[in-house]
Structure 1
Amino acid sequence: MKKLLICLAAVALFSVSTLADDFDYDAFVKAYYHAQVMTQQPNATQEDLEHYLSFLTDDVGNQHFPNAPDDSREPDGKAMMRKGMSRYLGVHTEYKAEIIDYQYGYNAVSIKHKFSAKGKRSDGSDFSYSKVALDVLELEDGKVAVMRRYSK
């Protein structure tokens, strides 16, 4: 896993220094991350979810261990994300998130971030968690085509 992350970082740095395009990666990362965070807030709405989904291709692939170990792009990838994420809208009573660092290169972005949440499950029991994660996004025509989340 460490070798994969080092390789991805090297590719991103190489890409930044050797490939030029007019895509505003900084603006994309900030807007994408803000939209993602809004879907996790206690008052998250369906509109917040739709705004986040607007950053994704219709056939987005999502790899998120341990629940989604396959990163295959599916024709209904965005619809599957909408269905899965809709179940969790508004379950947090508290949510905090922060970007630690991000890198980008030609059609790829890596975002290292930390987040913590508290909330209630459907059975009424409480939950809380805190994580540091690395999200690697592959872009196509300015949208996320494949996303991979690495975290403990």
Structure 2
Amino acid sequence: MKKFLTIALLLIVSNLAAAKEVKTDLNTLAQDYFTKMMATQAPNATAQDIENFLALMTDDVGSTHLPYVTDDSRQPDGKAQMRQGMSFYLGAHTEYSAKILNTFVFNDTAIAVRYRNSAKGIHPQNKQPINYTSTMMDVLEIENGKIAVIRKYHE
């Protein structure tokens, strides 16, 4: 009887442990990232759109956007730094559109999202017109279901 109870308890404990291990669907995360990123660039973007986007990230997220930002070091306040940078540009666009061209999933550690975007607006610092169309690829490193590093590349 003791053997039976021991085996039953081991099975229950192992099933509970397995139930807590949640696998992140990286295709869904890629789409979520793109949708929430687009919302932060829209002419009517809000601080809440930035928060929705940042909710996908680790607190120490690292980010590059070559050639403008070259250091992707993860810092304890990485999310706060990203929030500050994104808030500076919030509402700078009068027009914005983007379309996913491809997504690539690399096991459970990385995603690449390739997209074409275009924007018009006024740069908040130098007040010069913004007008661009570009093809981008964001490579996202994933850690425990969250985005830990973002690397933006221009084609």
Report Cα offsets for 1:15-55 as digits up to 9, x if no partner. xxxxxx84212211111110000000000000000000001
> Is 1:38 paired with 2:25?
no
The 2-side partners of 1:141 and 1:22 are apart by 9
Q: Identity over aligned residues, as a percent?
A: 44
Report Cα offsets for 1:105-138 as digits up to 9, x if no partner. 2210011111000001345432201110111100
Q: Select the residue among 111, 134, 144 that pairs with 1:109.
A: 111
Q: Select the residue among 130, 134, 146 that pairs with 2:133.
A: 130
> 5+ residue gaps in structure 1?
1-20
The residue aligned with 1:141 is 144
Secondary structure at 2:89's aligned position in 1?
coil
Q: Is the 8 A contact 2:23 2:145 kept in 1?
A: no
Structure 1 residue identity aligned to 2:151: R
**Cα gap change, 1:69/1:86 in structure 2, threshold over 3 Å: closer, same or farther?**
same
**Following TM superposition, where does structure 1 have runs of at least 4 consecutive aligned residues deviating by more than 6 angstroms?**
none
Structure 1 residue identity aligned to 2:142: L
The 1-side partners of 2:87 and 2:60 are apart by 18
**Which one is further off, 115-124 or 92-101?**
115-124
Q: Which of structures 1 and 2 has the bigger CA Rg?
A: 2
What TM-score does the superposition give when structure 2 sets the normalisation length?
Answer: 0.81
The residue aligned with 1:27 is 28
The residue aligned with 2:11 is none
Structure 2 residue identity aligned to 1:107: T
> 5+ residue gaps in structure 2?
1-21
Q: Is the 8 A contact 2:98 2:117 kept in 1?
A: yes
The residue aligned with 1:53 is 54
The 2-side partners of 1:25 and 1:40 are apart by 23
Structure 2 residue identity aligned to 1:115: N
Report Cα offsets for 1:82-123 as digits up to 9, x if no partner. 000001111100000011001102210011111000001345
The residue aligned with 1:86 is 87
The residue aligned with 1:151 is 154
